[in-house]
Amino acid sequence: MAKVGDSIMAENANWTFGGHVADTFDDHVSKSVPHYDVGHDLVVKISDYFLTSGSLCYDLGCSTGTLLRALAERNRGKDVQFIGVDAEEGMVEHARRKLQGFNNATIIKSDVMDVEFKTAEMIVAYYMFQFVRPKHRQSLFNQIYEKLSWGGGFLLFEKVRACDARFQDMMTGLYTDYKLDQEYSPDEIVGKSRSLKGVMEPFSTQGNLDLLRRAGFVDIMTVFKYVCFEGFLAIK
């Protein structure tokens, strides 16, 4: 086991969101992913264009429910239903506590591959697909496209790989500098990187665009970009 920061321990090639990770997850992810909160704010504001009375919104891989709560608060005056999905019991418990008082929000404990989607106006996958096995991703993209209403929006935020080796070296170096600036130790950075081997598999920008287009999306725009982190908005 190695320290990866914020009181989290992880094994080589065996990162997990289970156990006690949920207890410090919000702090850890906000320091690990550049402009994590800015991306949340962007998703919430984009929801204005898709969520009206009678709408349904999914947050896939909702973790502790922080983004889902922000979406529910933003749309409090509308008759909108929110469904958060996460596979980890600890995350689900945190999310359910966080969403107490929102009768229009439901948290489901499930692997995203097992979700029986209802027709939705907006679906969010916020740094989630990078943890879905590559062999399953196209199938899930296809389901998302199929279950979106015409004119509905799919928000996909992902860590992305660069388009060639030179750029990848630069992105890796810049991201390492970022984590050092967050006061993670070199050992914690290496420990986290080793724990994610075979668990997190980012695609390139083009790889994500290809998945979206094969699913049927035509209207796609990058709405956020910072080094190796990117947010896409795809409209059906």
- Residue 114 forms part of a structural domain: yes
pTM: 0.96
Give the closest residue to 108 by CA, choosing from 127, 81, 133, 89.
89
Query: In this structure, is residue 168 part of a structural domain?
Result: no
Are 236 and 216 contacting, i.e. CB atoms less than 8 angstroms apart?
yes
Inter-residue contact 121 to 96 (CB < 8 Å): no
* Per-residue pLDDT reduced to its tens digit, 178-213: 999 999 999 999 999 999 999 999 999 999 999 999
Give the CATH number of the domain where residue 111 resides: 3.40.50.150
| Location of structure tokens 């229009």 | 104
Output the six-digit token pair for 226: 């910072």
Does 104 fall in a domain? yes
pLDDT one-digit tens code per residue, 111-122: 999 999 999 999
pLDDT in tens, 137-167: 999 999 999 999 999 999 999 999 999 999 9
- Domain count of the chain? 1
Sequence length of the chain is 236
Q: Are 86 and 95 in contact (CB under 8 A)?
A: yes
- Residues of the domain holding 214: 2-163+195-235
